A and B are shown apart, each in its own frame.
Chain A
Amino acid sequence: MQWRPVRRAGGARPASRRLTRRAFLAYCAVPVGAAGLLAACAPSQPAAPAATQAPLAKAPTQAPIVTPAPATAAPAAAAKPAEKPAEKPAEKPAAAAPAVGKPEPKGTLTYAWHTTISPAWLDPQENPPQITPYNFAYALHDALVKHMPGKTFAPSLAESYEIAPDHKSATFKLRQGIKFHDGKPVTTEDVKFTFEKYRGANAGILKEKTAAIETPDDRTVKFAFKEPFLDFLTIYGSPSSGAGWVVPKAYYEQVGPNGFKQKPIGAGPYKFVRQQAGNELELEANTEYWRKSPSVKTIVMRGIPEAATRLAGLQTGELDVANQMPGDLLETIRKDPNLRLVPLKAGPVWLEPMSFDGPDSPLKDIKARQALSLAIDRKGFSDAEMGGLGALEGNWIPEDWPGSLKRDTPPYDIAKAKQLLAEAGVANGFEVSQITPLGGYTTFAERITSYLRAIGVNTKVNVMERAAFYDALKPGPDRLKGLVIQLSGSPGDAAARIRENALCNGAFSSLCMPEIEEPMKKYEASIDTQERTKLLNDLQAYLLDNYYIIPVLRQAFINCLGPRIANKAEDIEGAIPQYVYIGPYEDIELKG
């Protein structure tokens, strides 16, 4: 049944001018569809991978990236036969009460995030293998041990800890008088519950290797392992997992995981006040925090996905800190005397030849793969993509990570690349089916493609959404062909990176070779530090010397500080190892 005008004065409306309801709907479908299409076609959170990058860098002010801070007290990966970390909390030996007579926290710091602020990040129990959630953990929660400025595995909720000489147990002594934000004490039961219920990154390996958790008294927690577990502290006490961030058992059980994400309670320097899911998070100083009472009373974190808007907010004074400023805005920031540019070393970028496009691919020949490396102008890449702030490291494992093999920047030599191609029997170059970058990094692939074209290697860019990209890395009929550009910000050490990128069952691995599997098995079984170091070095050298992994550079994660921040940039940006954000929060001060 249709509606229709019964009578129309002046005769029938000309068809061309008649506006029917259907026409209206069609008209309206255009913006709706366009918006949906735009959203669907938009790069999948291009900022997110950078957000997952983990550097070991000290942050300079208005200067290129500086030499990374050496990690201290790196216990498990370095695997000293016996270890009792000498790190005693310097600030407060045992008591947990803040100093009396300190000025009350004041002022509001507004901190712009480049991504949606996911409530899931407020729950360390589901910590993904990214550095991003640590930003919120450092504010809201506290861990037995955590990285702090100048210190890795610094005791925090634990007053001290000890790794058994045989690496079959780890014992932590809780600091006295520590309380959660709801006033309840932090107990050994909370520590045990947190570990047992933890289901985030590396939960599997932690639980597989742990035989029992004992709480012999109200301040002692002992982790007993089934076998020597040399990597325990590296995983438990670093951004490799979130298992060390203690949550209150009673409250967590009361509200459940989803309830906890909406109103988290922790033992960190800031208390949760409110959130508008995804958009805004407000925190208030916890004046009872054991290390020190924060100086800033309120921190408001806001998700502002558009970088130009973040910059405008800094310029107008609405914002005090902004994460991840892209290369095209750096010149504006440099020219503004009120703003401080803070470039930090982040995750590396590398090229992998993947499956060589079948058995006859020229990439089977090491000379052809070496030619690819020689064709990449790494400095030009850094200048164009990240304002010259990329670090030209020669390993795909950050050189300041435990166990990383330091290598010089691979050379840029077109003539030699062509010569190698001639020696490989493809003097006129060859075709590679495609080059696929991690979702959101299409320009990286386009730039590499143009470098390769200069030596006659032609390919086309294949754009994939991030999750699909990771799926397609796995062996199988749908596995990616041609070349792949990878980036990784998952924190850890050299061994972790090899597990991820070079083993048959690695989460992001395109490789599966006995030359890698066997030494890595030996590494996992060994408790001999020297042997482990040698094995790791040999593995890295093998992968790099055979050009199975071709490092491009290490990205810069560029943050910006507004005029109200009183601290030196290097004290609060990149001060914490393997962490590219602002912190420790309790150290931040505002002017005035």
Chain B
Amino acid sequence: MRTYILRRLGYSMISLLMLSMIIFFIIRLTGDPARLMVGPGGRPEDVERTRVEWGLDRPWPEQYWSFIRNLTRGDFGTSFQYRLSVRDLYAERLPYSIQLATAGLLISLLIGIPAGIITAVKVDTAWDTICKIIAMLGLSIPGFFVGLLMIIVFAVTLRWLPASGSGTPLHIVMPSLALGWYFAASMLRLTRSSMLEVLDSEYVKLARLKGVPEKIVIAKHAFKNALIPVMTLAGINFVVMVNVAVIIETIFAWPGIGRLLFEGIQNRDFPVVQGVVILAGVMIVTVNLLVDLLYAVIDPRIRYS
């Protein structure tokens, strides 16, 4: 087990190193940030001065080495646009993203799992059709459309909720609903397929033959076993919601990490883009590692070779 963990940690480090390399070089292909920093009327000498000031005049490998060296010290650099350390910026935005992601995840679970179970249990019924339509709409309607529609209905027309911003529990309702619906749809589909598979298994058939009530069969025998992939997806969804809820955060002016990333890309703010992507990578790798380890705890049939 220890060898396995160490090896997985090694793989994770390699993944992160590759990610850092890819994002470092790809973001530089977008062009020179010095011109944007100096502004549209900037003179060539000002642009050059800015390049030197921020170390952008150095060869890319040298810049990359410096970036990696700083990363090992937990230093993600200073944002070109905000003139703040990326670590501080990220820390400032993270609580907002976690709030939004938590609320969005809860909504996606509360909608997706029950609906997924219903569609699996009542295959080819009206319930199944309705839930499938909800799933299809959730996946196909763009987030900005759902967001704007909610703003018009709940903020402008009914005046129940604030149109944008953060700070009170009411502010989080619309963005989390808009975000949660999209992920609820995927959750629904996965729960459904997972439940269908489990319901078709031998032990469920045996339970039914033994006369166990159907509710117990579904809740205890089927659902519990169908939950593993669903929870794995929920974990990954949470990381995605924290880091890349770009459209929802933009529509609702939510000060989260997704918007930070979006603004970073727009402004060629290399340190911000690199920092957000690396930290998202760290989260995803960590979640995967934890999930792999938890599998052994949750499901004793799983062993590590």
Which residue numbers of A lie inside 8 Å of B, CB to CB? 1-11, 13-14, 17, 19, 21, 24-25, 27-28, 31-32, 35-36, 38-40, 42, 44-45, 52, 116, 118-120, 128-130, 199, 201, 203-204, 257-258, 261-262, 276-280, 302-306, 308-309, 312-313, 315-316, 318, 465-468, 470-471, 488, 490, 500, 507-508
Contacts and interface: CB of A to CB of B under 8 A. Distances in A.
Given A5-B301, A276-B255, A204 B266 contact: no
Nearest first, the 6 A-B pairs at minimum CB distance are: A128-B39, A129-B41, A312-B163, A35-B244, A10-B202, A279-B255
A507 B40 contact: yes
Given A19-B229, A130-B40, 7 more contacts: A4-B303, A24-B236, A128-B41, A278-B260, A279-B253, A304-B253, A490-B40
B124 interface: no
Given A1-B7, A467-B32, A129 B84 contact: no
Contact of B83 (A199, A257, A470): A257
A39 B261 contact: yes
A2 B305 contact: yes
A3 B164 contact: no
A28 B284 contact: yes
A28 B240 contact: yes
Contacts of A21: 232, 288, 291-292
B151 A507 contact: no
A203 B45 CA distance: 11
Contacts of B280: 32
B152 interface: yes
Given A7-B301, A9-B203, A318 B163 contact: yes
Interface residues of B, number: 86
Contacts of B31: 465, 467-468, 471
28 contacts: A4-B302, A5-B299, A5-B302, A6-B301, A9-B202, A13-B197, A17-B197, A21-B288, A21-B291, A25-B288, A31-B240, A40-B265, A44-B266, A118-B81, A203-B46, A258-B78, A302-B164, A302-B165, A305-B253, A312-B152, A318-B162, A465-B31, A467-B31, A467-B32, A467-B33, A507-B40, A507-B43, A508-B41
B89 interface: yes
B178 to A, nearest CB: 12
A467 B151 contact: no
Contacts of B164: 302, 304, 306, 309, 312-313, 318
Nearest to A496: B41
Nearest to A20: B229
B152 to A, nearest CB: 7
Given A25-B236, A306-B251, A3 B304 contact: yes
B30 interface: yes
B258 A35 contact: yes
A471 B35 CA distance: 8
Interface string B4-15: 100100000000
Contacts of A467: 31-33, 35-36, 268
B40 A262 contact: no
A467 B42 CA distance: 11
B301 A8 contact: yes
A8 B201 CA distance: 10
Given A119-B82, A302-B165, A312 B156 contact: yes
A308 B253 CA distance: 11
Interface in B251-305: 251-253, 255, 258-263, 265-268, 280, 284, 288, 291-292, 295-296, 299, 301-305
Contacts of A8: 301
A209 to B, nearest CB: 15
Contacts of A14: 197
A203 B282 CA distance: 43
Contacts of A312: 151-152, 155-156, 163-164
B237 interface: yes
Interface in B146-195: 148, 151-152, 155-156, 159, 162-165, 182, 186, 190, 193-194
B82 A39 contact: no
Point out which of B83, B165, B186, B280 has the most chain A C-beta atoms below 10 A from its C-beta.
B83
Nearest to A4: B305
Q: Which of B144, B163, B303 has the most CB of A within 10 A?
A: B163
Contacts of A35: 244-247, 258
Contact of A308 (B151, B197, B236, B237): B151
Interface of B: 3-4, 7, 30-33, 35-36, 38-43, 45-46, 78-79, 81-84, 89, 92, 144, 148, 151-152, 155-156, 159, 162-165, 182, 186, 190, 193-194, 196-197, 201-203, 229, 232-233, 236-237, 239-240, 243-247, 250-253, 255, 258-263, 265-268, 280, 284, 288, 291-292, 295-296, 299, 301-305
A38 to B, nearest CB: 7
B219 to A, nearest CB: 19
Nearest to A33: B244
A309 B251 contact: yes
Contacts of B263: 116, 278
A31 B244 contact: yes
Contact of A10 (B38, B165, B201, B252): B201
A309 B40 contact: no
A301 B255 CA distance: 14
B301 A277 contact: no
Contacts of A465: 30-31
Nearest to A129: B41
A130 B38 CA distance: 11
A507 B83 contact: no
A471 B266 CA distance: 16
Contacts of A500: 41
B16 to A, nearest CB: 14
Contact of B247 (A38, A44, A466): A38
Contact of A490 (B41, B162, B196, B305): B41
A467 B196 CA distance: 53
B83 A258 contact: yes
Nearest to B304: A3
A277 B84 contact: yes
A385 B83 CA distance: 36
A364 B183 CA distance: 57
Contacts of A305: 250, 253
A531 to B, nearest CB: 27
A304 B155 CA distance: 16
Contact of B244 (A3, A32, A306): A32
Nearest to B35: A467
A204 B43 contact: yes
Given A10-B203, A302-B253, A204 B237 contact: no
A277 B92 contact: yes
Nearest to B225: A9
A120 B83 contact: yes
A470 B38 CA distance: 12
Contacts of A306: 144, 148, 164, 250-251, 253
B301 to A, nearest CB: 5
B163 to A, nearest CB: 4
Nearest to B162: A318
Contacts of B155: 312, 316
Nearest to B38: A128
A469 to B, nearest CB: 10
B151 A309 contact: yes
A276 B95 CA distance: 13
